Structure 1
């Protein structure tokens, strides 16, 4: 995979990614705190509950990664039953249950934040996970397939699981209950915007580019030009997300810390469970990494949209949703480096080439 290998080696932009992300988060918080009108503007520029500037940032972020996918390999990925089944189990059985338990353990006295965390746990990955997976040299095609499958399950399962974890299970356990009303259309709209559009654009780019210029030109000329825009879109999106509730975050540092702790535990549990499950099942490093990041990542865009639409933009549920990426972004960036270390330490593999190394 020479073209993919060279594209995946960490550039200067990638190597300093934690710094850029930290600056983007800080910049967003400062903008939201010092210029409250920005938050009002982002709220007004919504279509169907989706903020248009944030949606544009996500589209710019997603398109280059999905344009890199070799779609002719997707059929081989779907035939890997171990990967698909383990991903579904981790995402739709283990993930929500772990977040439910952590939310009640760490926030028994704060029902609004607890509900917000549970909603985050129900919103499975469809967006930024492709960035983390790509930086960690995971299997790009496998991640695209897993993200697509999770998106379909999200439309079907989100409302049902929300009802179960917020109303039914707490009642069975003698705990407080909290309802959640969310339409399938709202979920479908988020999936369509954040996954469907860039997926179609990425597939069309590869099909047209290879048909007219050939694969060598497409991967060695076209992809290096559009590749950096994934990180530009990521940084732009982070600035906007943190500007949206910059005032709430800076005014409630203790609340943010209490919300952050269970999120830290959650991301660590899900990522390590994913990569160790992949190793135990005999999956290679690239696919184990895809399994780990798709299990640990969450669709905070949907979680924030649901929390705001159901409980209001200034609610504790919405704040918990916004704290999600505040913790997820730096933690999963850190796990990219852990993953690259695990490639040689646990899988005896060069993450950039996929070749075996001496133990």
Structure 2
């Protein structure tokens, strides 16, 4: 009996990947337990910074990103970038639909809580880098397409973030007769975040593949080296989750109603962005691998940048910072769940081979 595409895709997930929701749940509980039961651990973790960047979080993100970017076949990136349908759709979803949807949901669900509302709008402006490549890989999306879209969004983010922040927090609310909030963030702050959390692992992944293939060949690289590197991506993810929950454990457990109010529009946002993007990608004729890549890159957010901006502009104890932290705490389990929904939805795509990554 021939296995279904979904079954074949699921078999590609190792034990660690297959039970990822379980590990993530345990990591969340471990972080909360550590943050609540170990005196001073949150202050100690928060104090380990370089240039305002949390070293523990940076370490977890770099470990998480490097193995995934080492998997990319960089010699195929040029071909992927020529797919104008995919590129245009992704840019429109990320820089027109995504910020506008988060703005609308923030005002709809939090009209009386301006700090949380502003924090959510900042999350909506911080478009995908980093973690989205993990979800795309687990869902058997197009690895090279994900690398291209993440790179394009990162460059666009450096150019557009501050301007979009001014528009959505000052200009548009003024036009609509709503209260306004200023956002003073420099292009350097954004560029630094992109450089560290994408540029460093991207360079390391590229050099690893180039040197590895040059010395031992592609077959050895993909069959021998990559399986050894692969698990470290999820180790880095789980470590990052533990640190985030340890840092915010007391706030999360002491303000559960506030967290729930912030979480609700985020749940709606991730569901609408992912499902709408997947449907639009299928409608314009993209095959499953690139359609799922468009969906995850549209739904994912750069939580590190959102948190950094919220803390830098409004302070570490601000409502804006809390909203920024709740973002990834909601995004991680939801997008993990959508990995399985994506694998199930693969049956509705007539072409499941276009751009597939091995």
Question: Is this a same-fold pair by TM over 0.5?
Answer: yes
User: How many angstroms apart in 1 are the aligned matches of 2:336 and 2:39?
Assistant: 29
Question: 2:284 is matched with which residue: 281, 284, 302?
Answer: 281
Question: 1:269 is matched with which residue: 255, 267, 272?
Answer: 272
Alignment of 1:140-151 (within 5 A): 140-151=143-154
Question: 1:206 is matched with which residue: 195, 206, 209?
Answer: 209
Alignment of 1:327-342 (within 5 A): 327-342=330-345
User: How many angstroms apart in 1 are the aligned matches of 2:240 and 2:38?
Assistant: 17
Q: 1:291 to 1:65 in 2, by over 3 A?
A: same
Q: 1:225 to 1:182 in 2, by over 3 A?
A: same
User: How many angstroms apart in 2 are the aligned matches of 1:46 and 1:186?
Assistant: 15
TM-score, normalised by the number of residues in structure 1: 0.95
| Long gaps (5+) in structure 2 | 1-7
Matched-pair contact (CA < 8 Å) for 1:106–1:258: yes
User: How many angstroms apart in 1 are the aligned matches of 2:146 and 2:221?
Assistant: 21
Alignment of 1:152-167 (within 5 A): 152-167=155-170
Count of aligned positions: 350
Which region of structure 1 is more displaced relative to structure 2, 279-288 or 37-46?
A: 37-46
Instruction: Tell me which residue corresponds to 2:307.
Output: 304
Matched-pair contact (CA < 8 Å) for 1:38–1:243: yes
Q: In the TM superposition, what is the alpha-carbon distance from 1:34 to its structure 2 partner?
A: 2.1
Instruction: Tell me which residue corresponds to 1:237.
Output: 240
User: How many angstroms apart in 2 are the aligned matches of 1:282 and 1:27?
Assistant: 43
Question: 1:75 is matched with which residue: 74, 78, 82?
Answer: 78
Instruction: Tell me which residue corresponds to 1:134.
Output: 137
Q: Give secondary structure in 2 for the equivalent of 1:301.
A: helix
Question: 1:347 is matched with which residue: 328, 349, 358?
Answer: 349
Q: In the TM superposition, what is the alpha-carbon distance from 1:175 to its structure 2 partner?
A: 0.5
Q: 1:177 to 1:139 in 2, by over 3 A?
A: same
Matched-pair contact (CA < 8 Å) for 2:158–2:187: yes
Matched, 1:181 2:187: no
Instruction: Tell me which residue corresponds to 2:14.
Output: 11
Matched-pair contact (CA < 8 Å) for 2:141–2:356: no
Matched-pair contact (CA < 8 Å) for 1:129–1:293: yes
What is the aligned-residue RMSD (CA, Å)? 1.8
Question: 1:91 is matched with which residue: 91, 94, 109?
Answer: 94
Q: 1:352 to 1:242 in 2, by over 3 A?
A: farther
User: How many angstroms apart in 2 are the aligned matches of 1:89 and 1:6?
Assistant: 29
User: How many angstroms apart in 1 are the aligned matches of 2:161 and 2:344?
Assistant: 34
1:221-245 superposed Cα distances (whole Å, 9 cap, x missing partner): 0000010000000000111111111
Instruction: Tell me which residue corresponds to 1:195.
Output: 198
Instruction: Tell me which residue corresponds to 1:115.
Output: 118
TM-score, normalised by the number of residues in structure 2: 0.95
| Long gaps (5+) in structure 1 | none
Q: 1:340 to 1:42 in 2, by over 3 A?
A: same
Matched, 1:324 2:330: no
User: How many angstroms apart in 2 are the aligned matches of 1:154 and 1:243?
Assistant: 29
Instruction: Tell me which residue corresponds to 1:217.
Output: 220
